[in-house]
Structure formats: C-alpha cells, structure tokens
Chain A
Amino acid sequence: MEQKLVALSGNEAVAYAFKQALPHVAAVFPITPQTEMMHKYAEFVANGESDTEMILVESEHSAMSAAVGASAAGARTFTATSSAGFALMWEVVYIAASLRLPICMALVNRALSGNINIHCDHSDSMGGRDAGWIHLFAENAQEAYDNAIMSWRIAEHMDVRLPVMVNYDGFIISHTADALHMLPDDVAYKFIGKYKADYALLDVENPITVGPLDLTDYYFEHKASQLAAYPRALEVIKKVSDEFGELTGRYYDHCEEYMMDDADMVMVMLGSSAGTAKDVIDEYREKGVKVGLLKIRTFRPFPFDYLSKVLAGRKAVAVLDRSASYGGQGGPVFMELRHAMYGQQVPIYSYIYGLGGRDFDLHQVETVIKDLQKVAAGGEMNNVNLLGIRS
C-alpha cells in the first residue's frame, strides 16, 4: 500500500486523520493552539471534501454537551480543544465517559490559567485523568496522526466503548510542519470501519433513556462495569496498534522503549520532549553511559504491568512531568509510575519541567542524566525537582 509522504503541521495532520474516519458530527469552539485544527476541518467541509456536520457552538461546555448528544444519537462524533476549553468542559467530560460514548477529541496540550499562557504543558490533560477517557500521547505529527486514526477503532471497540483523547503538544507539534506518511482515504476508512451504535436515541422504534437518576441502589454497579472496561481497553489498544503496524509498518505499544535493553538509568516522559531526550541519550550512549528512554503513549488506562516489568531491576529512574500536582508529591506521571513500582527497590525521582511552554533543552536532559548517574552510584537526591527554572 502506497502511503503519501506529506509535510503538515500536527493540527493539519489530525484534521486529516479525523476526516478520514468520515465522522457524522463535529462540535468545536476555538482556542489556541487548537484553532488551526478546526480551521482546517472547516475548510474540508467548505470545499466539499467532508460532509461532516459541524456544530459551531458558543462554548466548549456546549461543544462537549453537543458531542454527547450527537454520540448518544448514534453519530460518529469528534471535538477538539486545549487548556481552558477542556477545563470548561470538565463536568461533561465525565458524562461522556460514564455514558460510554465513543467520542474522539484532539486535546492540543496547553497550560491552564492562571496566569494565562498559551503554550504547551500537560496540565489540561492531567486535570481530566480520572474522568474515564483514554489518553494517548504523541511525540510528533506522525504519531498524532496515527493515534487519531487508531482512536476510532479503540473508542468504538465493543470491549471498550469509551471516549479517546488524542493529545499532542501545543505549538511544538500542533504548529510545526513535519514530514509524515498519510494513509490513502479508502485504506484509512477501511481500517477504521463503519460505526454503528448499539443503542441510539434516533432509533425511535426502540426508545431508550440515557443518563437517568442513578442512586445508591445502582450507581455503583454502573461504575463497576465502567471500571472493568479499562483493563480491556489496554488489550484493545495493543491489538489495534499491532494491526495498524501490519498495515503501515509503524508499530506502537503502550510505551516506546528507546535504548532500553541494557539501560541502568531510565528517563520516563510523555510527548514531544522525548525527541529532545533521544538526541542527548545518543550522545551519552556514545560515551558508554547506559541510559535509556521510556516514552509513555497510553497514559490512561495507565499500563502498570508493562511499566513494572520494563523498569524492574533498573538502577535509577527519572520521571519527567510537564505538569504539576499542587500539594501532591511530584507530577502525575511520577505518582502513577512509582505506584506501579511498589515493592521493587528501584529509586525513582520526579522532575517537573516545561510548564507554560518553557523550552525543554539539551541541558535539562543532561542535568537529569547526571543526577541519574549520581543515584545509580548510590548517591541521594531530592524526591521532586524542578528543571530549567531561573535561579
């Protein structure tokens, strides 16, 4: 199969991927850095390249609400947002997952206010980490595109039926032109498949009640059944990714392991900064330093078993979070990861970096590697560390 090599921004790439799923409905509201994605989509519709019905709502709260309505009606539905927009959706983000609606959302990661800042960090996505969505992260436009294609298969899989959030870093991925391979439309659609809702509001001959009052007698059972979907989702993500790999030659798992086979020291992170880290790791590898990178792609459901196996026996682990948990200890990825490693004697440290789009540079990676070397040699350091701030 011929894949087209194109130069696109992350926003354009994801707009194409969503278009290739032939969604019935898109409900969107502008916010930087997501806007370019909805502009691109609006162009598709205006030029007759897509027959998706766009609902140009008056807020993100209504974007998610309209998406819930459309999806419950039986439509393949997407939305897209960033930062404050996602925060405004929050109440309905839970509802989408609880109603088991396979909505896909591009979350172009941006810092939360205040102070207001339009640049990348992951605090928006992390704010919704317990809401019940699947969170996929990408390192570049290619991965964002691929995740966006796979998101439909995962969300709509009968063992899952959960909404999927396709995360990619604001500006760093969303606005930089990148070379990537795109699937032909027919191949992409064949891979994704046609969507059919099992229960649809529009099936007026078989009426249903969605979102009833659910009290002490049944609510918990519904939550138990939702909870049971997440381990299954991990399996489905893997299966869909394998199939995608066979089709495209681009294989994905819950994590990418870079120089991990013999690594004593490991850096763990999400998103575009993995690219920066890989460069520095290459340098240190040349010097014989056994350092590797674990890039997490599936943040929700969190791949606990995968991580506890991969990290077993390592001498030092640094978890780099592009968001903070105020009043907690370390960043969200750190907390999950250390929990995954419970009972193992692997030293794990937290680094917070890049808040509000602060550049993640080579020096920061070096700092972490040097810290890891110290710890691997039996040294001590702080549990939680800030990277790249003014002294």
Chain B
Amino acid sequence: MATNLKQLTKNEELLCGGHRACAGCTGSNILRQIMLTAGKDTVVGGATGCMEVVTTIFPYTAWKTSFIHSAFENCAATISGVETAFRALKKRGDLPVERDNINFIAFGGDGGTYDIGLQSLSGAMERGHNMLYVCYDNNAYMNTGIQRSSATPVGAHTSTAPSGSQSTGKQEIRKDLTKILVAHNIPYIAQTTPYHWKDLAMKVEKALATPGPAFLNILMPCTPGWHFDPAIGIDLAREAVECNFWPIFEVENGVYNINKKPKEKMPVADWMKKQGRFKHLFKPGNEHVLESTQAFVDKEWEKLLKLEESTS
C-alpha cells in the first residue's frame, strides 16, 4: 500500500520536473500524485489542454511512463484502444514485455471531459474498459485563454462570459459530471482535490485496483484562470471542500461515501473572495449571485447527504 506519506516519498517520480506548467499550478500536483501511486507499469493518455501541452513539448517529455496524446475530445477512446490492445496482445503472447497487469489512465481538463470529450468518455465507460479516467476540473478552458465551459460556476468571469456592466459573468449552472458518471453504473467514481493527498492516493489506488472502468473528478485551482496568488492554490483546494463547493466522496458500486464532512461549514463567499474571477460579485448590487450560489451549494450538499444515507 502506497498511501502513507513515507512510502509515497520513496516512490519514483514519474512526472519529472522541468515541465512548463505555470507557477503555482495545481494540475501538475495532481498528475504527480497520481503517478506516484500508479507506478511505472502505466500507460497515460492526455487530452489536448494545459497538462498535455506543458508536459510534452517536443523534444522534451516530462513523462517517464508511456504517454499518448491524440486529440482534444478523444482521450478516453484512445486509451480504450490501448487497453484493448493490451488484452489482445496478452492473449496471444505478443506483449513486448510480459505483464499481468498494466494501469491505463486517461486524463483531460473539464473542457475535454464535461464538454467536447463527453461522448468519448461515456462510450469508453459503458464498454467497461479496465481504465481510469481522471478529469482535472479547473472550471474553464484554460489552455486557450480561460473560456467558459459547462463546469464553470455561476458568476465566474471568463473570456467568453465576462462580467461587465450588463453581466455578472457566467449565468448557467455548472453541469454535475460526476453524477453523469454515476449514471453509467461503473464500479468506482470519486471526487477529490490535490490538497487531500492521502485521499487522492487512496482513490487512485482503489480505482486502479477495481476491475473495469473508474472515474476521478479532481478540482484543480488555476492561478491565471481563477486569479489568485500562486502560493494559495492548494489552500483553495482545501477550502473548496470546507465550503462544500467541492465535496470529496466516493461512489463504490453505487454506494456513496462522503470522505469529509466539514465540521464548521465555511461560507462559499469566503472562498470566492480570494479569487479574482469572482471579484465583481462583491460589488454592491451583485449580492444575489453570492446568495444564490450559497443556496445552490447547500442544496447540492443536502442531496449528497441523502444519497449517502439512502445507498449505504
């Protein structure tokens, strides 16, 4: 078991330094933590997006395991092909190196997962491939200049849904992708953040140990996209859980388990206040957005508690 810190620190770094992520990027934290747990016998696929771009600028690569990028919307399908190839080659004794098991991990941003890659993801999950899909959700299309996605929260300022004299930023409620994955009836689904390293490592381990498809949705505070001091990204990940904006939970064979229930619920506005993308909401006249956000988060949390209760 790798989920103790001592062991994790001893594991080989498979996403090496020197990549081009922004200062304070929590996405590289996420990938690094995943890889520390997954280990060397892993094939990784990345969807077009920040994390693919910053880790594979030719002639360099930050990946010490096999890695494939094909396009923006097809990472799940691509890795489903790799995983199938593994089974096909193994059955014939044609593997280049003998292995009983290899981990297959596909990752994409919220754009590549909630939006353009949703079909590819849904197909791969339904087909039951033995793979883990990781969505790093930074709440917008960051790589192309912070455009809104269906994961962008109400009120956030983005390049395509900016705040202005006639707008408070994004108007539409974010999509609950994790629930969509639950509807696929796959064996393992979870949400976590890079602050919760132990939780993250445990979930990666479980996901990889589970035969069949697994899905992790990981919140990724983004310095340039959310406008915050690069030093506080990991704190913002913690606080997103404290204020229930991003509950961390698992759904194992349909059974919900909330991994952390904040003792004292932090107001969502306190979390939002630290992020430039919500700055305009703190001007007089926009209180209603903060209020509706709090109401929404509360309602979703209540629903989650009920799901846990009703499925346990």
A95 touches B71 (CB 8 A): yes
A73 touches B97 (CB 8 A): no
A69 touches B68 (CB 8 A): yes
Q: Please indicate the chain B residues that have their CB under 8 angstroms from the CB of A68 in the complex.
A: 70, 78, 81
A65 touches B89 (CB 8 A): no
Given the known A-B contacts A53-B88, A58-B119, A68-B70, are A204 and B41 also in contact in the complex, defined by CB atoms under 8 Å?
Answer: yes
* Interface residue B263 (Cβ < 8 Å from any Cβ of A): no
* Best-buried of B43, B59, B73, B79 by chain A (most CB within 10 Å): B43
Q: Please indicate the chain A residues that have their CB under 8 angstroms from the CB of B206 in the complex.
A: none
A204 touches B119 (CB 8 A): no
B91 touches A65 (CB 8 A): no
Q: Please indicate the chain B residues that have their CB under 8 angstroms from the CB of A204 in the complex.
A: 40-43, 65-66, 97, 99, 102
Q: Please indicate the chain A residues that have their CB under 8 angstroms from the CB of B92 in the complex.
A: 24, 51
A62 touches B77 (CB 8 A): yes
A73 touches B61 (CB 8 A): no
Residue of B53, B73, B86 touching A73 (CB-CB under 8 A): B86
B69 touches A61 (CB 8 A): no
B72: shortest Cβ distance to chain A, in Å? 9
A-B contact count (CB 8 A): 181
Binds B, one of A2-10, A208-216, A376-384: A208-216
B26: shortest Cβ distance to chain A, in Å? 21
Residue of B64, B70, B83, B87 touching A207 (CB-CB under 8 A): B64
Interface size on B, residues (CB 8 A): 51
Given the known A-B contacts A201-B68, A203-B66, are A66 and B119 also in contact in the complex, defined by CB atoms under 8 Å?
Answer: no
A70 touches B82 (CB 8 A): yes
Closest to B91 in A: A51
* Interface residue B94 (Cβ < 8 Å from any Cβ of A): yes
Q: Please indicate the chain B residues that have their CB under 8 angstroms from the CB of A56 in the complex.
A: 127
Is the contact region of chain B dominated by helix, strand, or loop, or is it mixed? mixed
Q: Please indicate the chain B residues that have their CB under 8 angstroms from the CB of A203 in the complex.
A: 66, 96-97
CA distance A239 to B61 in the complex (A): 38
B77 touches A202 (CB 8 A): no
* Interface residue A74 (Cβ < 8 Å from any Cβ of B): yes
* Interface residue A31 (Cβ < 8 Å from any Cβ of B): no
B77 touches A25 (CB 8 A): no
Closest to B45 in A: A69
B81 touches A211 (CB 8 A): no
* Interface residue A105 (Cβ < 8 Å from any Cβ of B): no
Q: Please indicate the chain A residues that have their CB under 8 angstroms from the CB of B71 in the complex.
A: 65, 91-92, 95
Interface size on A, residues (CB 8 A): 49
CA distance A193 to B137 in the complex (A): 46
CA distance A92 to B42 in the complex (A): 24
A69 touches B77 (CB 8 A): yes
* Best-buried of B70, B81, B120 by chain A (most CB within 10 Å): B81
A317: shortest Cβ distance to chain B, in Å? 41
Interface set, chain A 41-86, CB cutoff 8 A to B: 51-53, 55-59, 61-62, 65-75, 77
* Interface residue B74 (Cβ < 8 Å from any Cβ of A): yes
Q: Please indicate the chain A residues that have their CB under 8 angstroms from the CB of B91 in the complex.
A: 51, 53
Closest to A23 in B: B88
A61 touches B74 (CB 8 A): yes
Q: Please indicate the chain A residues that have their CB under 8 angstroms from the CB of B68 in the complex.
A: 69, 72, 201, 209-211
Residue of B56, B59, B84, B120 touching A55 (CB-CB under 8 A): B84
Per-position binary interface string of chain B over residues 95-108, scored 1 when its CB falls under 8 Å from any chain A CB and 0 otherwise: 11101001000000
CA distance A208 to B61 in the complex (A): 9
A67: shortest Cβ distance to chain B, in Å? 6
Report the 10 A-B pairs with minimum CB-CB distance, sorted nearest first. A69-B81, A58-B123, A66-B81, A73-B85, A65-B74, A62-B77, A75-B85, A24-B88, A212-B56, A65-B77
Which residues of A line the B interface, CB within 8 A?
A: 24-25, 27, 51-53, 55-59, 61-62, 65-75, 77, 91-92, 95, 99, 197, 200-215, 217-219
Which residues of B line the A interface, CB within 8 A?
A: 40-43, 45, 52-53, 56-59, 61, 63-71, 73-74, 77-89, 91-92, 94-97, 99, 102, 119-120, 122-124, 126-127
* 17 A-B pairs (CB sep. < 8 Å): A53-B88, A53-B91, A61-B74, A62-B80, A65-B74, A69-B81, A69-B83, A70-B81, A70-B85, A197-B96, A202-B85, A207-B66, A209-B56, A209-B61, A209-B66, A214-B58, A217-B58
